[in-house]
């Protein structure tokens, strides 16, 4: 079910670009491929400052990915409250949080063995 690495790289690049377009914060890429019993190859985790920004990030990602590579999420969950939205692109899962919810669930801590790349932003 996993797509090849080049497709993942393109998808990841467009997701990150979508996050950056609306100034999403604290972007981390977790590479889960070396871990056992994972549900996907990568997590992308970021945060917005409000439910409005969280939803704007989700919308931006969907538009960017759809336009660039004609892909759409298999499943999206959490859009109603805008505190934690999960976007499932099968081999890449995106978590868009508000800061307090991100700290509470600590996804990075739960997947502490994953190789983590911090995406630097210029804003």
Compute CA 79 distance to the chain's CA centroid, rounded to the nearest angstrom.
Answer: 14
What does DSSP say about strands 25-31 and 75-77: parallel, antiparallel, or unpaired? Answer: unpaired
pLDDT (tens digit per residue) in 27-47: 999 999 999 989 999 999 999
Closest CA to 61 of 19, 8, 91, 121: 19
Q: Are 32 and 107 in contact (CB under 8 A)?
A: no
DSSP 121: -
For residue 2, what pLDDT band results from cuts at 50, 70 and 90? very low
Question: pTM here?
Answer: 0.93
DSSP 8: H
What average pLDDT score do residues 65-71 get?
A: 95
Fold of the domain built from segment(s) 5-111: Beta Polymerase; domain 2 (3.30.460)
pLDDT (tens digit per residue) in 81-104: 999 999 999 999 999 999 999 999
Please measure the distance between the N-terminal and C-terminal CA atoms of the chain and give it in whole angstroms: 36
**Residue spans per domain, the chain:** 5-111
């Amino acid at each position: 079910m996993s797509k090849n690495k080049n497709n993942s790289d393109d998808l990841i690049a467009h997701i990150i670009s979508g996050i950056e377009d609306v100034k999403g914060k604290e972007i981390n890429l977790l590479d889960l491929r070396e871990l056992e019993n994972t549900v996907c190859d990568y997590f992308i985790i970021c945060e917005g400052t409000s439910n409005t920004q969280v939803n704007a990030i989700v919308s931006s990602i969907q538009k960017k990915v759809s336009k660039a590579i004609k892909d759409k999420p298999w499943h999206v969950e959490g859009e109603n409250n805008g505190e934690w939205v999960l976007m499932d692109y099968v081999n890449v899962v995106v978590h868009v949080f508000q800061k307090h919810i991100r700290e509470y669930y600590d996804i990075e801590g739960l997947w502490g063995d994953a190789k983590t790349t911090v995406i630097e932003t210029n804003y």
